[in-house]
């Protein structure tokens, strides 16, 4: 759920300012996890006040307007908090279909931008030096991940109009009051349930949910059954327990994105980390790696668009949204296969030192598979059961078994002189069974 939220409320370490604050990014991901099953309104405030978000979408150190100099507040976050984090571009029905009309105008962006003035680093005071980050010895060492605080001297006192709401002109600037009304307005907008709910269905279950499925999830967002709006636990429950979540329709399911293919492989095979820190690092390169790294999307619009309909495909001909296909192409398909081949064989991630010899940090143990190497069907059954919990079809199992059996397994000589050759053949059989399962369509499609 935290990973799904990170693809809706995007910050990216591709941005130089964000990459300079790795603790801030780690804190941001922790924050998404901590709020994953809480109230959407609380999550939205944590996102708005996150320092790395302030850096990424430039509302940290955003100053009030100045008529004399012609300065106006930065509008970047004001626009994206509406377009991407809450209400989207067009008015929606409960089922996610377009009702017609834009959700906001340029005037709404301008009015909301004044709300996001006067926010900067957390600390024990709101001195100018702390706002600018020049606080030196008194700087909070954890400011990279603590929520930003308001600085009234930099906050606009002008009237702020947006989405039919008004923050009256303030005699004394009150950034917290402005923020509260703004986020309450966004969180209560009727678009939020279908807009956020549909994306969570896509991330967790299926790429092209039916309007009825979206409507049921949006209804759970609007009311968790106890009169509470925006209860994300109720939303996730509605997403996962909906009858369509277990649909056997040919159009159901989704293409696993590369990161989730790797985590499914590592989890399913019981992978271990020599360092205990899982030092896999960036996997951006589509030609030699995954073509995707968590918290490193190319822009605030994530790795792919939720409304992406792949051209020149059968799903595209049906008008189906398949977001993950936006990053699937000839290079990434080959890159994934090659990356997995190397990782399954020699481990993933950084080179480290274990108690025996230097090797890559993340390893897939194969002891149980090696023990079945002379029983091809049992080997294939075990691997497919671990990686394809929905069940592997007979054709796939037969194909993998044929490949496994193509690796000749020599008989061990009485003197044991060919033990190494026997061990190598057994290992190659085990590696092949895991590899072919992990690159099969049955594994790639959830």
Planar angle of CA 252, 433, 401, nearest 5 degrees: 90
Six token digits for residue 17: 């300012």
Q: What SS3 string covers 179-219?
A: HHHHHHHHHCCCCHHHHHHHHHHHHHCCCCCCHHHHHHHHH
In this prediction, residue 443 carries a pLDDT of: 96
pTM of the model: 0.94
Task: Judge contact between 256 and 215, C-beta under 8 A.
Answer: no
The per-residue pLDDT for range 45-63, each reduced to its tens digit, is 999 999 999 999 999 999 9
Q: Are 324 and 255 in contact (CB under 8 A)?
A: yes
Confirm if 400 and 380 have CB atoms less than 8 A apart: yes
**Predicted local distance difference test score (pLDDT) of residue 390:** 76
**Secondary structure class of 73 (helix, strand, coil):** coil
pLDDT beyond 90 at 235: yes
Q: Taken in order 346, 352, 358, 362, is the CA torsion positive or negative?
A: negative
Q: In whole angstroms, what is the distance from residue 113 CA to residue 57 CA? A: 12
The dihedral through the CA atoms of 444, 245, 298, 232 has a sign that is negative
Question: What's the pLDDT score for residue 416?
Answer: 80
Q: What is the mean predicted confidence (pLDDT) over 312-331?
A: 95
Please report which confidence band the pLDDT of residue 353 belongs to, taking 50, 70 and 90 as the band edges: low
Burial class (CB in 10 A: 0-12, 13-18, 19+), 48: buried
For the cut 80, the answer to whether the pLDDT of residue 354 exceeds it is: no
Average pLDDT, the chain: 96
pLDDT 10s digits, 167-189:
999 999 999 999 999 999 999 99
- In the predicted model, is pLDDT for residue 226 greater than 70? yes
Closest CA to 18 of 350, 298, 283, 277: 298
């Amino acid at each position: 759920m935290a990973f799904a939220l990170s693809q809706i409320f995007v910050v990216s370490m591709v941005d130089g300012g964000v990459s300079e604050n790795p603790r801030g990014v780690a804190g941001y991901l922790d924050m998404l996890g901590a709020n994953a099953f809480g109230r959407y309104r609380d999550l939205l405030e944590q996102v708005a006040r996150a320092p790395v978000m302030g850096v990424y979408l430039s509302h940290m150190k955003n100053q009030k307007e100045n008529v004399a100099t012609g300065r106006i507040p930065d509008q970047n976050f004001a626009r994206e908090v509406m377009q991407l984090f809450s209400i989207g571009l067009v008015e929606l029905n409960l089922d996610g279909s377009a009702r017609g009309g834009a959700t906001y105008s340029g005037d709404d962006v301008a009015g909301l931008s004044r709300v996001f003035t006067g926010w900067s680093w957390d600390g024990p005071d709101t001195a100018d030096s702390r706002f600018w980050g020049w606080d030196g010895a008194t700087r909070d060492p954890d400011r990279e991940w603590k929520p930003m605080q308001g600085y009234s001297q930099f906050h606009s006192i002008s009237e702020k109009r947006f989405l039919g709401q008004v923050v009256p002109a303030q005699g004394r600037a009150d950034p917290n009051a402005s923020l509260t009304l703004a986020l309450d307005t966004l969180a209560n907008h009727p678009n939020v349930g279908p807009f956020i709910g549909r994306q969570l269905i896509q991330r967790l279950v299926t790429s092209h949910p039916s309007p009825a499925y979206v409507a049921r999830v949006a209804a759970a967002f609007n009311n968790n059954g106890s009169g509470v709006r925006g209860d994300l636990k109720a939303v996730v429950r509605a997403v996962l327990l909906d009858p369509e979540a277990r649909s056997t329709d040919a159009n159901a399911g989704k293409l696993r994105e590369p990161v989730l293919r790797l985590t499914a492989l590592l989890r399913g095979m019981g992978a271990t980390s020599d360092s205990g820190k899982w030092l896999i690092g960036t996997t951006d390169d589509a030609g030699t790696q995954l073509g995707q790294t968590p918290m490193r999307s190319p822009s605030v619009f994530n790795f792919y668009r939720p409304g992406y309909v792949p051209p020149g495909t059968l799903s595209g001909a049906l008008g189906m949204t398949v977001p993950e296909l936006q990053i699937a192409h000839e290079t990434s398909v080959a890159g994934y296969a090659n990356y997995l081949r190397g990782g399954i064989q020699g481990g993933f991630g950084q080179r480290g030192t274990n108690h025996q010899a230097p090797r890559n940090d993340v390893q897939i143990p194969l002891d149980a598979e090696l023990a079945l190497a002379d029983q091809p069907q049992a080997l294939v059954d075990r691997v497919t059961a671990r990686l394809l919990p929905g069940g592997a079809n007979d054709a796939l199992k037969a194909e993998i078994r044929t490949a496994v059996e193509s690796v000749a397994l020599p008989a061990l000589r009485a003197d044991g002189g060919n033990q190494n050759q026997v061990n190598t053949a057994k290992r190659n059989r085990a590696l092949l069974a895991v590899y072919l399962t992990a690159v099969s369509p049955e594994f790639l499609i959830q």
